[in-house]
Amino acid sequence: MQIKGLLLGLGWLSAAWAQLADTTDYPIGPLTSSSAKWAVKVCDITDYGAVADGATDAGPAILAAFEACIDGGVVNIPLGTFALETWVTLSGGTAWAINLEGIIVRTGTAGGNMIYIEHSTDFEIYSSRGEGAIQGYGYVFHAEGEYGPRILRLYEVTNFAIHDIALVDSPQFHLTLDTCNQGEVYNMIIRGGNEGGLDGIDVWGFDIWIHDVEVTNKDECVTVKSPANHILVENIYCNWSGGCAMGSLGVDTDISKVEYNNIYTVNSNQMFMFKSNGGNGTVTEVTLQNFIGHENAYTFYIDAYWTEETLAAGDGVLYNSITVSNWKGTCANGATRAPLYVLCPSTQPCTNIIVEDFDIWTESGSTEYYKCADAWGSGYCLKAGSAHTEYGTVTSTVTSAPSGYSATTMPGQLTAGLGLTTSIAIPTVPSSFFPGATPATARVYGS
């Protein structure tokens, strides 16, 4: 699918679009339209031995279909349930796509990645019917206290799109974009179990737009890792999740020009958290705007002493030029966990941190507090000035609700995490992901 013209025509994206690179030099998404790929060649996996019986291993057939369409075309996975017992690595390829009309279910037990796509360009995986899914049956592992394979991983893939599919109950991470460029992820739902280690989307690379996605799990919702620049994340529904984050960050951190916009988070660990412990390098030019949250444990956190991460060599990651604006909603208990918590390295104080229109109130009790340490900037407990030296910790107690904290809710909010001992049902991709926001890209149903 080509989106360059669409993006340039959406005036409401003008502010957010600045975080992506110039599309003249760096077009986002596939360079060849879906229809053009269908016209070149169709490699249906049933022609290569796949059987829609939920038991016959479709791994070899998927690989054979890919090899037949590696120079252009569509690997078609038709309606029906196809088992995946052996994992597939699809290496190379240009101007090709996977159309997932049916459902892939995991039957194999190996670690690694169920579907691994590498060194590819002009690539798309989607469901033309909007009903395609990959079911990882992670509960089989989790019931035994174990992890298994990741569902989908892209490595060094350029000009790509992933959309209109569901990734369900991964034994480990659901979607990883590893050193990828100029890609788009949208109109998706991810449903995972209620424990850590089941990340929704992890991304690092250059010029990637992730939007209109719902994530359920109890770890990362949509998280940017290092190195990364020109990343735009918007219209995200973290529905009983770990919440969005950046990290964990360590040695040689290099992240810049990242924007999160229109993020809705409910019953999650946090609305957004930066995580590091020692290390070095820089996180700079980050905008976190238009966040709505309800009943989250943490809200906005910079934690440069994240003890769940092993202490890395260095004086600490430098957090610079981070803007937090227009946040509203509630936290679970603001007297227990400060909704605004900016804990920077004493050896590398944060600089140019701006917090404005931050209206979060507590669900429990009648007070909350803000906490800042070695953090320079403007707003709330941040310290103004240009010294940028260590100064210790400053706290302030809030005894009345901010006037603007009240916020709307989203449909379909979960009231409990999804199980670790029973199968998670395949959901329908929703039609909205943030209150009042229409998905930026139309569905492909019937195309």
Report pLDDT digits (tens) over 25-65.
999 999 999 999 999 999 999 999 999 999 999 999 999 99
Q: State the total domains in the chain.
A: 2
pLDDT digits (tens, 9 = 90+) for 112-168: 999 999 999 999 999 999 999 999 999 999 999 999 999 999 999 999 999 999 999
User: Which of 122, 169, 207, 219 is an active site residue?
Assistant: 219
Considering the domain architecture, whether residues 208 and 283 belong to the same structural domain is answered as no
114-to-71, 96, 133, 163, 170 alpha-carbon distances in Å? 23, 19, 13, 18, 10
Q: Give the bridge partners for 358, in sequence order.
A: 327
The tokens for 429 are 């991709």
Among residues 240, 266, 285, the one where a domain terminates is: 240
Residue 425: other Cβ atoms inside 10 A: 10
> 263 with 217, same domain?
no
Assess whether 219 carries a catalytic annotation.
Answer: yes
CATH number assigned to the domain comprising residue 70: 2.160.20.10
Same domain, 71 and 206: yes
CA distance 140 to 145: 9
| Confidence at residue 18, expressed as pLDDT on a 0 to 100 scale | 57
CA distance 183 to 198: 22
Report the C-alpha gap between 131 and 445 in whole angstroms: 9
Q: Which amino acid is at 296?
A: N
Q: Using CA of residue 45, residue 47, residue 52, residue 55, what is the dihedral sign?
A: negative
Q: Give the domain range for residue 40.
A: 1-240
Q: Residue 445 domain-assigned?
A: no
Q: Model's pTM, two decimal places?
A: 0.95
Judge if 130 and 255 occupy the same domain.
no
Catalytic hit among 207, 294, 374, 388 = 294
Is residue 364 included in any domain, yes or no? yes
Mean pLDDT score, 72-82? 98
Same domain, 56 and 72: yes
Is the same domain home to 232 and 333? no
- Does one domain contain both 67 and 167? yes
Residues 302-336 pLDDT 10s: 999 999 999 999 999 999 999 999 999 999 999 99
Q: What is the dihedral of CA 121, 125, 128, 132, to 10 degrees?
A: 170
Domain boundary residue, one of 220, 240, 260: 240
